[in-house]
Amino acid sequence: MSRIIGEEIRNIPWQERNDTAGPVWRYDQNPIIGRHATKISNSVFNSAVVPYNGGFAGVFRCDSKAISMNIYTGFSENGVDWKISDEPIVFEGADEEILRFEYRYDPRVCRIGDRYYITWCNGYHAPTIGVAWTKDFKKFVQLENAFLPCNRNGVLFPRKIGDMYMMLSRPSDNGHTPFGDIYVSQSPDLEFWGRHRYVMGTVSGNDSAWQSTKIGPGPIPIETDEGWLLIYHGVITTCNGFVYRMGCALLDLEEPWKVKYRSKEYILAPNELYECVGDVPNVTFPCAALADAATGRIAIYYGCADTVTGLAFTTVDDLIQHMKKASL
């Protein structure tokens, strides 16, 4: 039995396994958030949630009906029914240059101590990683962008490792990026980032082709007694374009650029209609996971076809067994 190290989330959304096809099963009322969940939204997807005040809070990617990408707060009692703001997050911060808005999308939320850090894909002449913190999901203080463009999928670790903060990311280009490997960077203060290390990359050949074009980190890594459990997205290029599936890996606790196991078989793939049909077909894109240390239960929040938001379930044991059974 593997063990999650972290907080207990007694009210984690949960359903017993209803599908024997893989290590992850879907909520039977998916999608939990529809495309018109707010007054302005064309689509609500690739969003992040955390336990907050006995319930849950989150930061949501809503693309507007003008197709303008921005991020919005949301709150929920049970983690399933969400009330999302019609007004985007307004950031404050020391430097007007950094506060300037081009676009914001694909947020992650990571609690470190008494602050919730938000990282997202932030337009600054090209995509890079924006960083901000909040304590109450009302006042948001924006820090410096973590990296030079072009970069996407900035994902913080939930505590310092040694005496450094650490962030995963996926250097990219300014377009739809036909490549991409995962790196980890270190910072003493969440402003200056260095000591960049390669974590893992695409898989060539016919061995695990679902992750042959690019990969990127998804939810905040989950600490377990065996290593950091990372859920990530993997992409293949087909005659109909990209297909986004999910996989998982186990990273060394002290040196998270060392990969202990990595799933050869995907853990979730676009199979359901709402994952295959939408503004961008065939995308399952995880940005958050709730993990209950008491039971080992994990609830994954993922964008479906760049249109709606889905919820899926697994356990720490299901994922680690899946990796050990067939690891790259």
Rounded-to-10 torsion of CA 163, 294, 247, 241: -100
Rounded to the nearest whole angstrom, what is the least distance from the CB of residue 128 to ligand BMA in the complex? 14
Closer residue to ligand BMA in complex, CB, 284/315: 284
Does 150 interact with ligand BMA (rule: CB under 6 A)?
no
Rounded to the nearest whole angstrom, what is the least distance from the CB of residue 243 to ligand BMA in the complex? 10
Within the chain, what is the greatest distance between any pair of CA atoms? 52
Does 46 interact with ligand BMA (rule: CB under 6 A)?
yes
Does 63 interact with ligand BMA (rule: CB under 6 A)?
no
238 exposed, middle or buried (CB, 10 Å; 0-12, 13-18, 19+)?
exposed
Among residues 107, 126, 127, 128, the alpha carbon closest in space to that of 118 is found at: 107
Total number of residues that touch ligand BMA (CB under 6 A): 10
Rounded to the nearest whole angstrom, what is the least distance from the CB of residue 178 to ligand BMA in the complex? 11
* Ranges within 97-126 binding ligand BMA (CB under 6 A): 105-106
Rounded to the nearest whole angstrom, what is the least distance from the CB of residue 244 to ligand BMA in the complex? 6
Inter-residue contact 31 to 274 (CB < 8 Å): yes
Closer residue to ligand BMA in complex, CB, 144/306: 306
- Which two tokens mark 69? 């990408």
Inter-residue contact 60 to 47 (CB < 8 Å): yes
Strand pairing partners for 255? none
Closer residue to ligand BMA in complex, CB, 20/240: 240
CA–chain centroid gap for 270, Å, is 17
Per-residue DSSP letter, 237: E
* Ranges within 252-311 binding ligand BMA (CB under 6 A): 280, 283, 285, 303, 306
Closer residue to ligand BMA in complex, CB, 106/292: 106
Closer residue to ligand BMA in complex, CB, 6/281: 281
Inter-residue contact 214 to 204 (CB < 8 Å): no
Q: What span, in angstroms and rounded, lies between the C-alpha atoms of 285 and 75? A: 21
Closer residue to ligand BMA in complex, CB, 25/302: 302
Interacting residue ranges for ligand BMA, rule: CB under 6 A: 46, 105-106, 176, 244, 280, 283, 285, 303, 306
